[in-house]
């Protein structure tokens, strides 16, 4: 697996660091840490237990402190901020770009934010306040208001001279944005075009007015899709009057995509992607409890179904031995359908337009695999218990439960989505409730009818 | 949820398209399709059932065919290629960049590849053959050999004039690469530096010799981490002698990150990320069968444990009613630990250096939640069956099984990783085997000792 090497690389750093920390000689630790990028330092801090984390955090070059804070999850950020004086925090975050500062703002103490605002010039203060006025996870919150704009009535030469005069160009500037006198977004001009055209060419003739701007209220993950569907490096953000407010760059989009993936993986287990691997035990336990409690409630539901058939089980104990197989296989088959559906929903590939077709396809897949697995199961049960009627019952129950599993696998995430819930979060609980309840009911019900009938 | 809007946008297109297809009037469909980017068309094709997919594919502008093929999963690609003549395929892929062509190469018929190679000039043919000589999922396979290089002994002015002469700059060119006479990679110079410095400045004084190049055999996901840790737009790829071979750009990295996320989500259910949502039923069933068969085998293992206690269950049927709760809760708690571990391993945050600490933390979390959930469970069981001994047994069994669950949640993925397997793929099967077997064993074993002892 390719993944192994990435793992080995960070893991090697982690081991070196742990060994150095254990010896207590901090010089080598400091040198190691300060060869890393802020994102790598963040990654390393997240993988350290609290005591070592605090030591390493103290060794990070103060110049990198702000960037490192941007690159860690909320829980870890909180633990790092707890180690800092207000003055240190102000110094650390004061030099950040507006978009990074906006991302941190919610986790900073109010006094620190006031200090930071006071230390800024008026233009930057107003920009930060503007960015903070947009809801989290929207384009407005992701954008950096520091944008280079040009007007249509100048030539390439004028722009080039302006850039030289400016002396600094923000990172990830692949395009300059062309605006009207009233700062309305008109289009963009690529740096490449500036470089390859004659200096006397008017911007007018060169600029691309086809790239749409991103409305300021666009949700973060739609921003991410736009970037990856169009291979953008940067894109303009506008308000409802098409006034250019700022721009979003690919580095932030990459972070969003990574966070989405983590969210999807962790929320399926009822966890938050900001969870610190080393969060304090009572807090970790407390956070996991609600999901487990809901699962306990659904387990009681399934158990109550089994409870209805106590008389049957008393007469044929083999049923108790075999019933978890029928329920479990339903859960497994349903999980496969669910995984495809959750991906399809996240990519926008599943909707009412094709849901019926998917259901029909999954039903047929369930029948085929039900027949195949049911045959194996029936054979083993016959060899084990020597009762062909029991074999027939478990065969039928398995086929039936795989059908219910495919139904639930398709319909549960669609229904949750339509009701406004995150299908990645709650689908699996509902799915296994269906497959447990129906698995026990079909198997024990059929057994009661056939074997005791 | 933010996700809803993205979904709604693609879903809206999908619905419009489906409606238009149903009316049979293809003009509006063609117009709608050709307003989309190739990636969006690919997304839409993936969400259509085979018959409609073929119709829409026929309406795509032939100029976009190649790019669309790059943007769909392998299964769907195969179905699209099946609709094309060899001549059409050659025309579609002939204009692609070398890195895109390399990505498609494995899915193209040999005759088509020969034709494409024949239609290329010698330089491009050699480049393609070189890229194809590197293993899949390495930097060599991702790179585009078309790179603008400059030498140290020229001035900014010379470079600017060269670019103007060249007339075209590849997409995503934020840096030019500085090479020696023997084409060894020396460093990079940003386009921004070219724009903001005096034309007479020698490249010598401007270029950045700190960015390391990516070795050609670097695994794809390490490439992705490097890009996201350093906010790169493009990066140079070199061979073992530091000769510059090509460059990788952020757009390909974004695709890798998305694919990794899909791989992780789907492989946990024993599925492949290239799975077509509408793949033919027998094929879909056949592909899902191995994972289900392995789960069936582990279910037999758990059932055989229950089988050992038939006599006990015969005497106390309530045990059959309650045993799935103990097993299931272990599975749920273990899944939470597993989700955190799989993320930690993927990010390189978990290794031998901190595994023992994580295990210790998870053990304590398991005890806390075991006590809390066990208390609820024991209370409900006492209310249900009125037997405090049974309550005590299920309490102890639940605490024990949550402990086994946390052990398995930490150790199973670590062990799989060390043995060279993908922890995202097989962990959950091993985990639930442990929690089922130990859940049944602890509960029924304790019940036998305490209630029948």
| Minimum-distance CB partner of A345 among B7, B225, B313 | B7
- Residue in B with minimal Cα distance to A362: B281
List of residues 6+ apart from A413 with CB closer than 8 A: A338, A341, A342, A345, A423, A427
Q: What stretch of H or E contains A348?
A: none
Instruction: With beta carbons less than 8 A apart as the criterion, state whether B247 and B227 touch.
Output: no
CB contact under 8 A, B5 and A219: yes
| Chain B neighbors of A37, CB-CB under 8 A | 229-230
Is the Cβ of B271 closer than 8 Å to some Cβ of chain A? yes
User: Taking a contact as any Cβ pair under 8 Å apart, which residues of chain B between 86 and 115 contact chain A?
Assistant: none
Interface pTM (ipTM) of the complex? 0.89
Output the pLDDT for position A8.
Answer: 54
To which residue do tokens 């998870």 refer? B362
Across B28-52, average pLDDT = 88
Instruction: With beta carbons less than 8 A apart as the criterion, state whether B389 and B451 touch.
Output: yes
User: Taking a contact as any Cβ pair under 8 Å apart, which residues of chain B between 171 and 230 contact chain A?
Assistant: 171-174, 191-192, 194-198, 218-222, 225, 227-230
SS3 call for A368 = helix
**How many CB atoms sit inside 10 A of residue B117's CB?**
15
Across B194-217, average pLDDT = 90
User: Taking a contact as any Cβ pair under 8 Å apart, which residues of chain A between 392 and 431 contact chain B?
Assistant: 417, 420-422
- Beta strands B244-249; B234-238: pairing state: antiparallel
Q: Select from A314, A299, A135 the least CA-distant residue to A217.
A: A135
To which residue do tokens 């103990």 refer? B326
Is the Cβ of B2 closer than 8 Å to some Cβ of chain A? yes
| Minimum-distance CB partner of B266 among A11, A254, A339 | A339
Q: How many angstroms separate the CA atoms of B193 and B190, rounded? A: 5
pLDDT digits (tens, 9 = 90+) for B185-199: 999 999 988 988 888
Q: Which DSSP category does A279 fall into?
A: -
Instruction: With beta carbons less than 8 A apart as the criterion, state whether B284 and B278 touch.
Output: no
Interface probe for B, chosen from A160, A216, A265 (most Cβ of B below 10 Å), is A265
What are the residue ranges in chain A where pLDDT is below 50? 1-7
| Minimum-distance CB partner of B324 among A167, A303, A346 | A303
| Minimum-distance CB partner of A264 among B37, B225, B265 | B265
Instruction: With beta carbons less than 8 A apart as the criterion, state whether A151 and A181 touch.
Output: yes
Structure tokens at A260: 């989405």
Q: At what angle do helices B318-346 and B423-451 cross, to 10 degrees?
A: 150
Across B335-339, average pLDDT = 94
Instruction: With beta carbons less than 8 A apart as the criterion, state whether B223 and B248 touch.
Output: yes
Output the pLDDT for position B4.
Answer: 33
Weakest mean pLDDT among A43-52, A129-138, B4-13, B100-109: B4-13
Nearest-10 Cα torsion for B116, B121, B124, B130: 80
| Alpha helices, DSSP H, located in B120-235 | 122-132, 139-142, 156-166, 191-196, 203-206, 220-230
Residue A429, CB-side half-sphere exposure with 13 Å CA sphere: 24
CA angle A95, A96, A102 (to 5 degrees): 135
Output the pLDDT for position B10.
Answer: 65
Q: Select from B106, B171, B85, B96 the least CA-distant residue to B127.
A: B96
- Residue in A with minimal Cα distance to B219: A2
Instruction: With beta carbons less than 8 A apart as the criterion, state whether B236 and B177 touch.
Output: yes
Q: How many angstroms separate the CA atoms of B397 and B376, rounded? A: 13
pLDDT digits (tens, 9 = 90+) for B268-296: 888 888 888 898 999 999 999 999 999 99
Instruction: With beta carbons less than 8 A apart as the criterion, state whether A329 and B299 touch.
Output: yes
Q: What stretch of H or E contains B188?
A: strand B185-190
Å between B76 CA and nearest CA of chain A: 13
Across B65-85, average pLDDT = 91
Output the pLDDT for position A11.
Answer: 66
| Minimum-distance CB partner of B361 among A258, A281, A365 | A281
- Residue in A with minimal Cα distance to B190: A171
Q: How many angstroms separate the CA atoms of A36 and A57, rounded? A: 13
Hey, which residues does A246 pair with through a beta bridge? A237
Output the pLDDT for position B9.
Answer: 64
Output the pLDDT for position B382.
Answer: 97
CB contact under 8 A, B300 and A368: no
Output the pLDDT for position A426.
Answer: 81
Interface probe for A, chosen from B21, B337, B354, B418 (most Cβ of A below 10 Å), is B354
| Minimum-distance CB partner of B169 among A196, A262, A328 | A196
- Beta strands B214-215; B234-238: pairing state: parallel
Structure tokens at A352: 């009412």
pLDDT for B147 beyond 50: yes
| Chain A neighbors of B191, CB-CB under 8 A | 191, 195
Hey, which residues does B208 pair with through a beta bridge? B188
Q: What stretch of H or E contains B179?
A: strand B175-179
Å between B124 CA and nearest CA of chain A: 23
**Which domains are delineated in chain A?**
3-136 (1.25.60.10), 149-251 (3.10.580.10), 281-451 (1.10.357.20)
**Per 3-state DSSP, what percentage of chain B is helix, strand, and coil (rounded to 5)?**
70, 10, 25
Instruction: With beta carbons less than 8 A apart as the criterion, state whether B220 and B138 touch.
Output: yes
Rg of the Cα atoms in chain B:
29
pLDDT digits (tens, 9 = 90+) for B358-396: 999 999 999 999 999 999 999 999 999 999 999 999 999
Q: Select from A337, A355, A354, A315 the least CA-distant residue to A430.
A: A337
Q: Select from B30, B52, B84 the least CA-distant residue to B278.
A: B52
Output the pLDDT for position B5.
Answer: 37
Q: Select from A407, A329, A409 the least CA-distant residue to A363.
A: A407
| Alpha helices, DSSP H, located in B198-280 | 203-206, 220-230, 250-267
List of residues 6+ apart from B80 with CB closer than 8 A: B45, B53, B57, B68, B69, B72
Hey, which residues does A236 pair with through a beta bridge? A247
CB contact under 8 A, A14 and B351: yes
* pLDDT band, residue B7 (cuts 50/70/90): very low
| Minimum-distance CB partner of A339 among B254, B269, B436 | B269
Å between B111 CA and nearest CA of chain A: 31
Give A87-96's long-range contacts (Cβ < 8 A, gap of 24+).
Answer: A88/A62, A90/A115, A90/A116, A90/A119, A91/A62, A91/A65, A92/A62, A92/A65, A92/A66, A93/A65, A93/A66, A93/A69, A94/A66, A94/A119, A94/A120, A95/A63, A95/A66, A96/A66, A96/A67, A96/A70
Output the pLDDT for position B352.
Answer: 79
Weakest mean pLDDT among A185-189, A445-449, B234-238, B353-357: B353-357
């Amino acid at each position: 697996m390719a993944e192994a090497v990435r793992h080995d690389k960070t893991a090697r750093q982690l081991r070196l660091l742990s060994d150095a920390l254990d010896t207590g000689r901090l010089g080598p630790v400091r040198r190691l840490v300060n060869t890393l990028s802020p994102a790598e330092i963040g990654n390393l801090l997240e993988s350290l237990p609290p005591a070592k984390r605090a030591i390493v955090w103290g060794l990070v070059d103060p110049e990198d402190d702000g960037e490192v804070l941007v690159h860690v999850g909320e829980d870890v950020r909180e633990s790092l901020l707890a180690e800092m004086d207000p003055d240190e925090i102000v110094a650390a975050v004061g030099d950040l770009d507006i978009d990074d500062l906006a991302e941190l703002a919610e986790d900073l103490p109010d006094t620190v934010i006031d200090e930071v605002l006071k230390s800024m010039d008026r233009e930057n203060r107003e920009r930060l306040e503007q960015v903070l006025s947009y809801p989290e996870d929207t384009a407005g919150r992701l954008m950096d208001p520091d944008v280079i704009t040009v007007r249509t009535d100048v030539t390439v030469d004028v722009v080039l001279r302006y850039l030289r005069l400016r002396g600094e160009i923000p990172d990830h500037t692949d395009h300059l944005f062309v605006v009207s006198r009233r700062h309305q977004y008109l289009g963009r001009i690529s740096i490449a075009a500036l470089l390859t055209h004659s200096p006397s060419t008017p911007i007018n003739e060169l600029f691309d007015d086809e790239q749409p701007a991103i409305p300021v209220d666009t949700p973060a993950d739609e921003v991410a899709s736009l970037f990856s569907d169009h291979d953008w490096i940067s894109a303009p953000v506008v308000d409802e009057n098409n006034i250019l407010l700022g721009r979003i760059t690919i580095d932030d989009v990459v972070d969003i995509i990574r966070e989405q993936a983590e969210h999807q993986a962790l929320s399926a287990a009822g966890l938050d992607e900001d969870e610190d691997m080393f969060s304090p035990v009572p807090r970790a336990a407390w956070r996991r409890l609600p999901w487990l409690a809901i699962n306990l409630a659904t387990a009681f539901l399934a158990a109550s179904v089994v409870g209805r058939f106590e008389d049957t089980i008393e007469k044929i104990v083999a049923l108790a031995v075999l019933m978890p197989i029928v329920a479990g296989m339903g859960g497994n088959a349903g999980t496969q359908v669910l995984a495809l559906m959750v991906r399809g929903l996240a990519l926008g590939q599943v909707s009412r337009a094709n849901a019926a077709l998917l259901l029909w396809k999954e039903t047929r897949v369930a029948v085929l695999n039900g027949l195949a697995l049911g045959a194996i199961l029936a054979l083993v049960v016959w060899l084990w218990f020597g009762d062909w009627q029991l074999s027939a019952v478990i065969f039928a129950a398995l086929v039936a439960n795989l059908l219910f599993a495919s139904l639930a696998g398709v319909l549960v995430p669609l229904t949750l989505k339509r009701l406004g819930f995150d299908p990645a979060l709650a689908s699996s609980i509902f799915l296994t409730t269906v497959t447990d309840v129906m698995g026990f009911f079909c198997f024990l019900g059929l057994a009661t009818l056939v074997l005791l009938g």
